């Protein structure tokens, strides 16, 4: 199927679009500590037609088949560990709608009220345990990972689907050699900056977030080079190896007609 056959969308890579939330000295230092530096990046693309939510499946499939996407969408090679491009036409897509209704960092205030984080900002420690492959040494990671934790329900299942929560969780868990923070502030600050960079360029309120929910859609995607007999076989994007910390989000802004892609591949150490 040629690009544009489904929904009439054509895409263009926007290499001049930069994401300061991933490139400042302070942020890169944090990403290095969290074992994510060199394994996470954002890219921007534009499209040429009006987008409607009901077109989600056609839009995402057309995106991954477009001749301007295939040579420009980057990922980490499982064989070489180096950055490469998609380089192949994707045959199958699993796209998931991700809600984006939480627009204030007050969303995380309950971490303080539930004594997961102290008033000083220090994360409350706990006895070490494992939730494969993650070491859990504080109450924050228990809330994020352990469903049998007494405080797991501090965030509802619907709230855990929110993009803001997902970003926060991804940053807290980091890569395979992640050095965890003792304070909550770096996680909250980085999640907020990344959210704003990816989701909205609208006028912000005093809290730093848009005054109304952004009019866009988000997808978590993966593709296959061929339709496999085993659904776990043939994965090519974001990686051939599935992991909850290997992810790709497509942030679709129907007003600007832009697509921002956030990508991270879980692995050993940073690559900067």
Q: Which of 106, 114, 119, 166 is nearest to 140 (CA)?
A: 114
To the nearest whole percent, how much of the chain has pLDDT over 70? 83
pLDDT in tens, 185-233: 999 999 999 999 998 653 344 344 544 444 345 555 555 544 444 545 5
pLDDT in tens, 23-43: 999 999 999 999 999 999 999
- As a whole number, the mean pLDDT across the chain is 85
Those residues with Cβ within 8 angstroms of residue 229's Cβ, 6 or more apart along the chain or in another chain: none
Q: What is the pTM of this model?
A: 0.88
Strands 247-253 and 217-220: antiparallel
Q: Which residue has the tokens 């352990």?
A: 146
Helix (H) or strand (E) holding 143: helix 139-145
Q: What is the pLDDT of residue 234?
A: 66
Which DSSP state fits 140? H
* 3-class DSSP assignment, residue 129: strand
Q: What is the pLDDT of residue 170?
A: 97
pLDDT in tens, 49-98: 988 878 888 898 899 999 999 999 999 988 788 999 988 778 888 888 88
Q: What is the pLDDT of residue 197?
A: 92
Answer yes or no: is pLDDT of 150 > 80: yes
Report the alpha-carbon distance of residue 109 to residue 121 in Å, rounded. 11
Q: Angle CA(76)–CA(81)–CA(84) in degrees, nearest 5?
A: 40
Those residues with Cβ within 8 angstroms of residue 224's Cβ, 6 or more apart along the chain or in another chain: 90, 91, 92, 233, 234, 235, 236
Enter the tokens of residue 176.
């395979």
What are the sequence ranges of the domains in the chain?
11-100+213-264, 105-199
For 25-54, the DSSP string reads HHHHHHHHHTT-TTTEEEEEEEE-S---GG
Alpha-carbon separation of residue 80 from 71, 76, 77, 84, 231 (angstroms): 18, 8, 5, 9, 24
* 3-class DSSP assignment, residue 150: coil
Cβ–Cβ < 8 Å for 51, 59: yes
Cis peptide before 133 (omega within 30 of 0): yes
- Look at 3 and 8; give whichever has higher pLDDT: 8
Cβ–Cβ < 8 Å for 141, 172: yes
């Amino acid at each position: 199927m040629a690009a544009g056959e489904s929904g009439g969308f054509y895409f263009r890579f926007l290499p001049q679009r930069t994401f300061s939330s991933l490139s400042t000295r302070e942020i890169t230092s944090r990403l290095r500590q969290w074992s994510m530096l060199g394994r996470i990046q954002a890219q921007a693309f534009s499209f040429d037609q009006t987008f409607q939510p009901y077109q989600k499946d056609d839009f995402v499939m057309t995106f991954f088949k477009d001749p301007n996407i295939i040579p420009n969408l980057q990922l980490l090679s499982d064989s070489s560990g180096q950055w490469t491009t998609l380089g192949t036409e994707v045959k199958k897509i699993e796209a998931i709608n991700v809600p984006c209704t939480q627009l204030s960092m007050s969303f995380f205030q309950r971490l303080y009220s539930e004594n997961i984080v102290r008033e000083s900002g220090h994360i409350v420690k706990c006895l070490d345990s494992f939730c494969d492959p993650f070491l859990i040494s504080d109450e924050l990671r228990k809330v994020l990972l352990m469903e049998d934790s007494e405080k797991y329900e501090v965030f509802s299942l619907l709230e855990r689907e929110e993009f803001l929560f997902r970003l926060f969780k991804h940053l807290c868990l980091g890569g395979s050699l992640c050095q965890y923070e003792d304070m909550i502030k770096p996680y909250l600050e980085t999640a907020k900056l990344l959210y704003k960079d990816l989701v909205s360029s609208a006028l912000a309120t005093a809290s730093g977030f848009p005054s109304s929910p952004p009019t866009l859609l988000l997808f978590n995607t993966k593709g296959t080079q061929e339709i496999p007999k085993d659904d776990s076989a043939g994965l090519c994007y974001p990686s051939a190896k599935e992991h909850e910390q290997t992810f790709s989000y497509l942030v679709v802004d129907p007003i600007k007609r832009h697509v921002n892609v956030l990508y991270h591949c879980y692995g050993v150490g940073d690559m900067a």
